[in-house]
Amino acid sequence: MSNWVRAHTNIALIKYWGKKDEDLIIPMNNSLSLTLDAFYTDTRVTFDDALTADELYLDDMLQDFTALKKVKTVLDLVREKAGIRSKAKVESYNHVPTAAGLASSASGLAALAGAASLAAGLELSSVELSRLARRGSGSASRSIYGGFAEWQKGSSDETSFAVPVDDADWDIGMLFIVVSDKKKDVSSREGMSRTVRTSPFYQGWLDSLDEDLNAMKQAIKKQDIDKVGVIAEQNALKMHATTLGAKPPFTYWSPDSLKAMDSVRALREQGYSVYFTMDAGPNVKLICRQSQLEEIRTHLLSDFTGSQLIAARPGPALHVVTGPEL
């Protein structure tokens, strides 16, 4: 039986940062991302009357209660919708290049939404899958789609979901600079919550978003890599600025993140269309032309090792696969 589902991770170019409703995961702002081919999760769910509790195996290792929390939220919603009472075994394989430390909740929770609904016999639309994935982790709502996707914030569980924006079938790619594979000190969930509650810069962030989002959509339509890059880089810097105003303050940047940003600026001075973005961790993600990925990677080899530099291209939507890639 083929009930393995694959979801690819996505990186936001306009960031999701802050929730209006922490239980339902309704965001404060719309966000827009690019789904990537390089990182994905394969997941299978089996509902089994013989089980007395839900079980999560990640890369063949049984996970503890903390890891199960987001998973249980999605499983409970699926059980409720399908009228199932049995507990579930969830098997998941994260496909990330060795020790990259990029395992993402986006691909994980999107794959789970797909696999759990499939195992329960539910036939959900993309919008329904996006809403379900959102309840596990906000950014997962966007990993239902390939290419560019926009998570429209909405104002309720019904109205908050992602939609496809563009298939990204043009000259755009991303290059990951992996500067650390350590677990982050402040999770994105805690970081955004603290920022919303305590940072005086948060309102400034929110006020600038409509303009960023509209400009980004125009730039994508025109396939203008420089505009996409400039807007994404500024948007990421603004998001990260909010964390410095929080109480207590925090930052996801490490000295190596700054080194990576400097390398990007130097490459720009040499004439390359290359920009950066960062999420809730020290790794830096470059936005550039797909056709220049290898050339840019070669330049960066003077500052970073080969295993720190991972090229990614636009990736596909959630789909069923015959078996997991181990």
Q: Under the criterion CB under 6 A, does residue 236 sit at the interface with ligand DP6?
A: no
CB-based burial, 57-76: b 16+ in 10 Å, e otherwise: ebeeeeeeeeebebbbbbbe
Q: Under the criterion CB under 6 A, does residue 31 sit at the interface with ligand DP6?
A: yes
Minimum distance, C-beta of residue 282 to ligand DP6, in the bound complex (Å): 12
Minimum distance, C-beta of residue 117 to ligand DP6, in the bound complex (Å): 19
Q: Under the criterion CB under 6 A, does residue 139 sit at the interface with ligand DP6?
A: yes
Using the rule CB under 6 A, which residue among 41, 94, 117, 137 binds ligand DP6? 137
Using the rule CB under 6 A, which residue among 4, 6, 9, 12 binds ligand DP6? 12
The number of residues making up the chain comes to 326
How many Cβ atoms sit within 10 Å of the Cβ of residue 154? 16
Nearer to ligand DP6, 36 or 84 (CB): 36
- Which listed range, 1-9, 10-18, 194-202, 243-251, lies at the site for ligand DP6 (CB under 6 A)? 10-18
Nearer to ligand DP6, 267 or 312 (CB): 312
Which helix (H) or strand (E) element contains residue 243? helix 225-244
CB 35 within 8 A of CB 317: yes
214: its two tokens: 């509209």
Q: In 3D, which of 278, 196, 212 has the Cα closest to residue 245?
A: 196
Nearer to ligand DP6, 16 or 275 (CB): 16
Q: Under the criterion CB under 6 A, does residue 25 sit at the interface with ligand DP6?
A: yes
Nearer to ligand DP6, 5 or 162 (CB): 162
Using the rule CB under 6 A, which residue among 16, 40, 205, 275 binds ligand DP6? 16
Contact code string over 264-283 relative to ligand DP6, x by CB under 6 A: ---------------xx---
Minimum distance, C-beta of residue 197 to ligand DP6, in the bound complex (Å): 14
DSSP 185-230: SS-HHHHHHHHHHH-TTHHHHHHTHHHHHHHHHHHHHTT-HHHHHH
Q: Under the criterion CB under 6 A, does residue 153 sit at the interface with ligand DP6?
A: no
CB-based burial, 124-144: b 16+ in 10 Å, e otherwise: bebebbbbbbbbbbbbbbbbb
* Helix, strand, or coil (residue 8): strand
Q: Under the criterion CB under 6 A, does residue 26 sit at the interface with ligand DP6?
A: no
Task: Write out the binding residues for ligand DP6, residues 185-204 only, by CB under 6 A.
Answer: 188-189
Q: In 3D, which of 76, 41, 46 has the Cα closest to residue 59?
A: 41
CB 276 within 8 A of CB 287: yes
- Which listed range, 59-67, 78-86, 136-144, 268-276, lies at the site for ligand DP6 (CB under 6 A)? 136-144
CA–CA separation, 36 vs 157, rounded Å? 26
Q: Under the criterion CB under 6 A, does residue 105 sit at the interface with ligand DP6?
A: yes
223: region left, alpha or beta (phi > 0 left; psi from -120 to 50 alpha): left
Nearer to ligand DP6, 101 or 299 (CB): 101
- Which listed range, 8-16, 88-96, 173-181, 317-325, lies at the site for ligand DP6 (CB under 6 A)? 8-16
Residues that bind ligand DP6 (CB under 6 A): 12, 15-16, 25, 31, 105, 137-139, 188-189, 279-280
